[in-house]
Chains A and B, each alone.
Chain A
Amino acid sequence: MAFQDNPGFARRTLLAGGGAAVLAAPAVHAQGSAASAPIKIGLVAVLTGPAASLGTHLRDGWMLGMRHLDTKLGGRRVETIVIDDELRPDVAVTKVRAALERDKVDFVVGVVFSNILGAIIRPVTDSGTFLISTNAGPSTLAGRGCSPYFFTTSYNNDQVHSVMGQVAQDSNYRRVFVLTPNYQAGRDAVAGFKSKFQGTVVDEVYVPLTQMDFSAELAKIASLRPDAVFTFMPGGLGVNLVKQYRQAGLATIPFLSTFTVDEATLPAQGEAALGFYAAASWAPNMDNPANQAFVRDFEGVYNYVPASYAAQSYDAARLLDSAVKKVGGNFTDKNALRNAIAAADFQSVRGPFRFGINQYPVQDFWQLQVARRPDGRFQTETVRKVLSANIDPWAPECRMPVRI
């Protein structure tokens, strides 16, 4: 294993690293020594608990990026310290603080869930360290709370939900049934969908996050006969819903979803999800050389189809490589480093990619559909581009300082 799951191993490298720092101390101002020490990356991912498969995608995407870059960023050797946040904000803060203060990481990368990002954002940015989120893209950090030290290679959640609203609008669906879990992200999904959909929402149903059996809701859908169903059911909820939706014979009603059918859940949904719709800024079948190399090698190394979590982490590795190259491996000038990251001078697996004023991506969004590949595996595939060079709705609220 190239990465450090093992705390004992991390401690040994820490000791070695500490020794090196002491020896190098007299020469710390010389440019040459900075270039020889490894760049340390704190990779935050949830690797235990029910959401671990998402964190695994995220970690493996980064690790493939490292493999393709010969474990180097801009020519400097990289040491990745994998941090399992356990999906517990308190644990995440403790471990990330340790990575900042003890391991002296140069960048913090990763983070699947917004609540974890919300917990670690201040400790990281207050220490003057750049944080590249490769999945969580909360509205708070896109608008008023935007930070010069914070970038994301994913999206703002509202954008993805609004794509589905636009899809429903463009498909001339007049009556849509909405089904989401009863918590903040569920209500945000409904708001995002409604921001673009102008037809009638025949009913909105909120279910507990622990729901297993959807038969009551499915009976309701059948009795209302909507033109389409919009849903946001992450993880196991989505697996249960998709299977039961298909089994109830409702698949003739278009299934519009966000974060419900993706490569992380498709192995369990399989045929039941065939033809169902999703929205994203990337899909495994995107036709560009960078993406083809990514998907082919990812499957070769890890033996499963990558999801967007992996693609966005892979992009983060390429992004940081381009930035470190631009500043010649010298991190002392934070403004230069920030500008180098903001330039986004790399080939993204999703094609066109640039950062907006709030350092969130300005990118295209696609309607996706679940398909079976010739090799029998399932993946989402692009249907059509729905939003072009889309800027998230919170960017106008961001007052980003020009200099740090």
Chain B
Amino acid sequence: MNTTLLLVQALNGLQFGILLFLIAAGLTLVFGVMDFINLAHGVQYMVGAYLGATLAAWTGSFWLGLLLTLPATLAFGLLLEFLVFRHFYDRDHLSQVLATFGVILFLNEGMRVLFGTAPMQMPMPAALSGGIAIMDGLLYPTYRIAILAVGLATAALLWFLVERTRAGMLVRAGASNAPMVSALGVDIRRLFMLVFGFGAMLAGFAGALAAPILSVEPGMGDTPLILAFVVIVIGGIGSIRGAFLAALLVGLVETLGRGLMPDLMRLFLDPSAARQTGAALASMLVYIVMAAILAFRPAGLFPARR
């Protein structure tokens, strides 16, 4: 393993981390501010990918499709909030888990009924379909660089919204003590609804952004959901800054682990055993890191102030 490859793998890890951040940001807001466990966040990511692919096909333009996905997923999130979630804010976490798990099943099958069982594709915009040679024989797709840039911009925007605006102040206050905010005359229900819709929009945006590099199919949101939960638990529930750093950490650990573990194992084991234990260990690594961090900081790296 030479230095170039290591750097390339680090870049890949950061890029995967940024994608995870886009998914996890909405989740940490909803979980942190509303104390609401939303397992359906992953299917909102899937809905975003489907809407993006469909709207891009209808309008014939990737950009228009991506742009229209934002209001569409926002509306979809608000609809879900109105129909299902708002009835569970005051219930315990178990009821929320059950209800949102039901939403996962319903939406996964719903996509299958509406769009068919075969995976869909969202074509990449022509302007971004090239690549930059970052090492001999390997192109780094321009589109991935664009995702990197968009992810960083989203992080900056979120930081600004949460830390520097009145709405963000209310969101932070809601995360610390919702009854007190309510007592001060803020319509906490409406605040929750907006946060939820915004979270859904972020997830949908991430889905539409990922659609050109990933397979758009029912159930595509289930794997990122688990990683997104790992991210927000490591980062500290409710903290955007924590989610950002934890997402980068998880992306790096996941990618570098897959790249390095089998080679590392080869120092102790014979090649065929090293490959399989290396692969198995690499897929566990993220969870081992999470357990280690929680052992020292049970509330995560940057817990929201209580």
List B contacts of A56 (CB < 8 A).
116-118
Task: Give the size range of A's interface with the partner.
Answer: 35 or more
**A220 in the interface (beta carbon within 8 A):** yes
List A contacts of B223 (CB < 8 A).
210, 212
Residue contact A212 to B112, C-beta cutoff 8 Å = no
List B contacts of A235 (CB < 8 A).
119
Expressed in whole angstroms, the minimum distance between the Cβ of B117 and any Cβ of chain A is 4
**B38 in the interface (beta carbon within 8 A):** no
List A contacts of B213 (CB < 8 A).
213, 240, 243-244, 247
List B contacts of A216 (CB < 8 A).
9, 12-13, 255-256, 258-259
With A182-B279, A219-B12 as given contacts, are A250 and B219 in contact (CB-CB < 8 Å)? Answer: no
Name A205's contact: one of B13, B143, B212, B262 (CB within 8 Å): B262
**B127 in the interface (beta carbon within 8 A):** no
Residue contact A206 to B139, C-beta cutoff 8 Å = no
Q: Could you give, for residues 1-29 of chain B, a 1 whenever the CB lies within 8 Å of some chain A CB and a 0 otherwise? A: 01011001100110110010000000000
**B214 in the interface (beta carbon within 8 A):** yes
Residue contact B217 to A50, C-beta cutoff 8 Å = yes
**B183 in the interface (beta carbon within 8 A):** no
Name B5's contact: one of A55, A223, A252, A269 (CB within 8 Å): A223
Bound complex: CA A52 to CA B111 (Å): 12
- State which of B70-78, B128-136, B237-245, B298-306 sits at the interface with chain A: B128-136
Residue contact A222 to B135, C-beta cutoff 8 Å = yes
Expressed in whole angstroms, the minimum distance between the Cβ of B306 and any Cβ of chain A is 34
Residue contact A218 to B120, C-beta cutoff 8 Å = no
Name A52's contact: one of B112, B123, B255, B279 (CB within 8 Å): B112
Tell which of A56, A204, A240, A247 has the most Cβ of chain B within 10 Å. A247
Expressed in whole angstroms, the minimum distance between the Cβ of A47 and any Cβ of chain B is 8
List A contacts of B123 (CB < 8 A).
270
Residue contact B283 to A208, C-beta cutoff 8 Å = yes
Residue contact B217 to A268, C-beta cutoff 8 Å = yes
Q: Which residues, 221 to 280 on A, are CB-close (under 8 Å) to B?
A: 222-223, 225, 235-236, 239-240, 243-244, 247-250, 252, 264-265, 267-270
Bound complex: CA A208 to CA B219 (Å): 16
Task: Give the size range of B's interface with the partner.
Answer: 35 or more
List A contacts of B131 (CB < 8 A).
247-249
Bound complex: CA A94 to CA B219 (Å): 25
Residue contact B137 to A222, C-beta cutoff 8 Å = yes
**A8 in the interface (beta carbon within 8 A):** no
**B146 in the interface (beta carbon within 8 A):** no
**A36 in the interface (beta carbon within 8 A):** no
Closest to B210 in A: A212
**B264 in the interface (beta carbon within 8 A):** no
Residue contact A215 to B12, C-beta cutoff 8 Å = yes
Name B215's contact: one of A55, A182, A236 (CB within 8 Å): A236
List B contacts of A53 (CB < 8 A).
116-119
Bound complex: CA A122 to CA B134 (Å): 55
Closest to B8 in A: A219
List A contacts of B121 (CB < 8 A).
239, 267-270
**B52 in the interface (beta carbon within 8 A):** no
Q: Could you give, for residues 167-207 of chain A, a 1 whenever the CB lies within 8 Å of some chain B CB and a 0 otherwise? A: 00000000000000010000100000000000000001111
Residue contact A50 to B219, C-beta cutoff 8 Å = yes
**B220 in the interface (beta carbon within 8 A):** yes
- Name B residues whose Cβ lies closer than 8 Å to a Cβ of A: 2, 4-5, 8-9, 12-13, 15-16, 19, 109, 112, 116-121, 123-124, 129, 131, 133, 135-141, 143-144, 212-220, 223-224, 255-256, 258-259, 262, 272, 275-276, 279-280, 283
Closest 5 CB pairs of A and B: A249-B139, A239-B215, A222-B138, A268-B119, A53-B117
